[in-house]
Every structure is written in structure tokens, then in C-alpha cells.
Amino acid sequence: MVRLRFGFILIAMVLSLFGGRLIQLQGIDPRSYAEMAAAEGVEDVVLPASRGEILDRNGEPLAGSVAGRMVVADPDMTQDDAPALATLLSNELGVDYFTVLDRLRTENSHFEYIARRVPATEADRVLALVREQGFRGISLRDDPVRDYPAGEVAANLVGFMGIDEPLAGFERTFDAQLSGTDGRARFTVGNGHRVPLGERSVTKAVDGQPLRTTIDRDLQWFVQKVLEETREDYRAESAAAVVMDTRTGDLLAVADAPTFDANDPTASPESDLGSRALSDVYEPGSVQKVLTAAALVDAGKVTARTRIKVPSNLARQDRVINDWFDHGTIRLTMAGVIAKSSNIGTVLAADQLTAPQLADYLSRFGLGRKTNVGVRGESRGLLHSGESMTSQDKDRIAFGQSLSVNAVQMTAAVNTIANGGVRVSPSLVLGQATTDDGTVVGTEVATKERVVSRRAARQTALMMERVVDPEAGVAPRAQVPGYRVAGKTGTAQRVDPDCRCYDGSFSLSFGGFAPADDPRFTVYVVVHNPGVDGGGGSVAGPVFSRIMGHALSKYRVPPTGSKPSRLPVEW
């Protein structure tokens, strides 16, 4: 009985001690103990948000996140070994030695970043090396790393990330949507441990939202492959190709050659790290003639059968205009002018439009203004206003000189004819998204504008069919077996930006659509400065044929079975 009483007394004494200590901590002097803990240090930790994926139109990833780590240091444990540890970390992680040295020596801190978004395997290797050499105070935290599973596919549009920020493409333009908001955790620590009664707060991370594009990843891959083969075969400086859904304006492929691997952008020249299809401008050459022809038909000035007597050359104010082929006086219809790509015939027909009228039509086709599809660095090109356009300018603009375009602009312009005379603004984003400058873009905000009548567009399409006719036109190699094709070649002199003069090189292009009588896709190809002789029909035409044929097959578009245009080209 005595032993039992003694046991109860002992238990009561222990509980009294615990109770007294608790009262002291929570009631009598909590502030002093919190201040003591705070004096030891506060650990402020970032809880990284997962970055939103960039997807193609079918939900296939163009950019995503994989397991990664942040490398962090506890300066209270790294100060003594800071120089040697900074050397190791800078060599292994590629971070700046002096920045790391300062962070390893930070006073009154238990948490400093050394490197972020390090691939998990690399971070684990570095941590093992740190411990192997006897260093303490380095640890790892989860920190997702950006990954581009398609590599080069659509890299010109998607862009890439730096260590701590987006540097190019959609990654940068739509960073606010993709990045989300990092969370934070704040803990009071003492002697390397969290203080139970110290500060403790957690704000959860908000993950970024995905960006769904109009790009078809598989089609983009094929177009890039064909384009790079073309560039190499023709020893060209660069090339671009665009595939547009005729009815919706969705850009299914926007390809450049050369391009780069988004997983390793530093391996490529800076000039390759963007989208030439939107940033590079050039004179469109004779593809422009179909826009002039559509304007003339819409204005009631010509029809496809209008007869034009085309002399061997045409003396105009400051120079003589020639055709690309030698001839005497020939008799061409307007369809023949397009089929044969006659500069002289186009200028004579365009005499029936005033400069302001021509400028107005071309502006409504989208020339001289940005497409605003959400790609940084897009060029607006050059188009004279009607008031500033001289008669010499007008002559040259009518057949594709003295103005400049980018490849997506020209695709949308040609697509206007395919779409029955209605220009639908091109889109690279499914739905809608807001760019870093506050512009809302995407298919939900795409606009439609009637540029020419349905009748004018239809007549122009019939004229364009004669371009690929082996008996009448200059680009039979642009045909797609089994389908009716409407298109137009372009062979344009290139301007040297230094001397602002033609430098003897050319941009060769072909733009068109199929099936010609029920268009499904518009494809535009341009090859800059090829190292071999040729024109738009012989160089860009076959590329168009391969891309268009693949797109029609992939999307299972059946031939219409109707007969192609037989408009007369001569009279």
C-alpha cells in the first residue's frame, strides 16, 4: 500500500513539473521564448508551382515538366567550408562562384538557394559528391524542370526557359498563364530544428494553367522534316512553310528551317531561336498577283477571260518592266497572265485601279499589319498607303515588288481567296489566352472580314488552277495526284538591308489550296536564297505538293472528283 501511494505521489510531481513548464511557455513569458527562437533564425522556403503544359491541338505535349530539384544550403553549416564548397558547386552545376560563395556565408540564415530546376539525377549526383567530400549543409527540395518531349518540333513557336525565367516563344509570351504562383512556407528554427511554438505559416502553390495550341504535332514534324531536306538539297539560307485550315484559320503547322532543339537552345545560333515565318520579311513576288487579280475582278474591272495584249517589254516612268521569260507581243487572257506569271500583263490590268483602291484591297487582305497570333518579334511588313504610293510603286506592288510580307501574313492572304473572299484571322491558340502585353488571342476571338466577293474569289481560284496545269502553267510540279490544286508561284529578288538594294539572291515561293473547288487547307512555302538556279514553281512547288498531299491524306480529305479548270489562257 505504501509503495502504491509513493508511486502516485511521484507521478503527480512529474505532471506538476510539466504543467508548470507549460504555463511558463504559454502564459507567463511566451514572448521571450518566441524572441529567443526568432533570434536563432527563420527558414523561408519556396513551394514551387508546377508550370502549365503547352499542348498541341490533340492534347499532345509540346512542353511539360519533369521531376527536378532545387539545391539549397544552410549557411550556418557551410560558412567554414564556403570557398571549397562554392568551387565544387559552381563547377558541377554551372552556377556563378561568387554568388554561391556569398550565399554560403550568409549570416543569420538557414536557407539559401544555390540552384533551381536541376534535373533530379544530376542533383542527386552532386549531393552525393558533396557528402563524399565531407561537406555538410547542402540539401535538395522538389523543383520541377521544364522538358520539351518533341525536341525541335514547334520549338520555333514554343520557345524555352532559362534557369529562373522564360526566354522565348510561348513560354515568355504566355508566362502569366503558364507559370502559376509559387507557395511559401515559413518556419522558426533553432539549433537546426523547427521551434514548436515559433512561427509556422504555409501558403500553398497555385499551379500554372495549360496552353493549348492549334498546332498538329505530327503534321508540324512532317513539315519541318520536308523543309529541312529542301534547305539542304537546295543549299538555301533558310525556309519557312505554313499550313492553315481554310475555314477556321487555325495554323496547323508553322515551320522554319533551320530551327533548334528546345531542350538545348544554346547549341544553336541565336538567329535560329525564333520564328522566321513571322519575323522575317521579304518581297512576296508573283504570289502577290493573285491578290491583284482578285481585287480587279471584285471591282468589276476584269474577268478571267479579259483579253490583254502583252508586249515584249513595258516602258514606265523610271524603268522598263520585263517578264521573266523572253517573248514578243503575246495575247493572254487574265487567266493566262496568272498562269504564265506575266509582270507586264499584271501591270496593264492593274492600270484600271487607282493607288488608293489597290492599297485598300491589299490592306484588307492583311498586308502591312501584324497577324497578332501571339508570337513575339512578329514583323508587320511594309505596304505603302494609297496617298504615299507613287505610280511606280503601284506598278511594282501589283506584281509583288516594293512591299514586304511575312510567311503567315501571305498564307492568310491566299487563304482569303480559298475561303470564298472572306479573310479569317489566323490563330495559334485554341480558345483564348492573353499575351504579356495584354492582347487577347486565339480561336475564340478570331475575326472574319469580307475582302472580295465570293464570285471574285471563285474566278481567281479558277485562274490559279491553270498555274499547275502542265500545258498552260509554270508549276506542274505543285500538283497533288488525285486532287484539284489552285496555286501561284513567286520568284522575288531579295533586298540587302545594308545597301537597300537587290543583292542578286532570290526568295522562291508557292502558295495555294486544295481541293481547289472545295478548299480544306492552304499551304504556303518560301525558300530564301537557294544555292541553285530555279523559280518558285520548280523549287517551292514540289515542297508544296508534298506538304499538301500529306495534310490531305492525314485528315482523310477525299478528292472532289470534279474536273479542273479549263479557262483559256490565250486568245
Residues marked as catalytic: 286
Cα separation, 410 vs 394, in Å, equals: 19
Contact predicate 206/527, CB 8 Å: no
Q: Quick check: helix, strand or coil at residue 95?
A: coil
Q: How far is CA 339 from CA 129, 466, 542, 566, in A?
A: 70, 5, 17, 11
To which H or E segment does residue 523 belong?
strand 521-528
Kindly give, in sequence order, each residue whose CB lies less than 8 Å from that of residue 333, ignoring residues fewer than 6 positions away: 304, 305, 306, 307, 308, 567, 568, 569, 570, 571
Beta-bridge partner residues of 166: 161
CA distance 228 to 349: 38
Give the cell for residue 372: 497578332
Buried b (16+ CB within 10 A) or exposed e, 54-65: bbbbeeebbbbb
CA separation, residue 282 to residues 140, 142, 380, 505, 542 (Å): 51, 47, 11, 12, 21
Handedness of CA 213, 217, 220, 225 (dihedral sign): positive
* Residues 6+ positions from 363 with CB-CB distance below 8 Å: 369, 383
Vertex 69 angle, CA 68 and 71, to 5°: 155
